[in-house]
Structure 1
């Protein structure tokens, strides 16, 4: 990959964020981390990442609100992969209804995430 592709990760779990940062940067991506939904929206508006990864449950602004903002206010078609703990089927369905591209239940494999990102960015 000649130029690194910009990915936004909206995740309030710092251990998971660091793990994904290591894995995605090793795969050649430039990862920007937002620790809450409000920060994520500011980064999306300023830096226009090529893909957005977000947890559903986020401080200040939820992952669902991020999806809604990206699709309805910014009118972007940027792929959005949503993470959520198991047993939150209603939230997952809401995420897809709002325009999420993909969903992964926590805990998930970072290797699988890299494959899904590569597929979406082809």
Structure 2
């Protein structure tokens, strides 16, 4: 079981939050959902997640700023970027340059998400 693995989800779309929590709760992960980039960067140090899943388009602080903050302060935390393809293609390559570990285009296959999470968060 993955109940000792904590994933921070940074997403402001309610439907996407519901989908992600449904899929990852089923896998037994502990989830913390934050709806904007600023709150996420402020709370990272107290949350101590094992992984971050973030959108790129976020209120107050962009996903790119979040990735940069995570990698500067908590280098070992893997980051998966979730984003609608085409919306910000140059941002995806920028996300990888900043240290993102994976990218999943919305809409995504739930099984693919689970496989990618498990690959970056081994038991």
Closer/same/farther in 2, CA of residues 75 and 51 from structure 1, 3 Å limit: closer
- Counterpart of 1:113? 113
- Counterpart of 1:83? 82
Q: CA deviation at 1:42?
A: 2.4
Matches within 5 A, 1:30-45: 30-45=30-45
Equivalent pairs counted in the alignment come to 121
Q: Distance in 2 between matches of 1:2 and 1:117?
A: 11
Q: CA deviation at 1:75?
A: 4.1
Which residues of structure 2 form unaligned runs of 5+? none
Matches within 5 A, 1:1-122: 1=1, 3-72=3-72, 74-87=73-86, 88-122=88-122
Q: CA deviation at 1:23?
A: 1.1
- When the two chains are superposed, the root-mean-square deviation of aligned CA atoms in Å is 1.2
Q: Normalised by the size of structure 1, how large is the TM-score?
A: 0.93
Deviations for 1:21-72, whole angstroms, at most 9, x for unmatched residues?
A: 1110110101100011012112322111000000000000111000111112
List 4+ stretches of structure 1 deviating above 3 A.
none
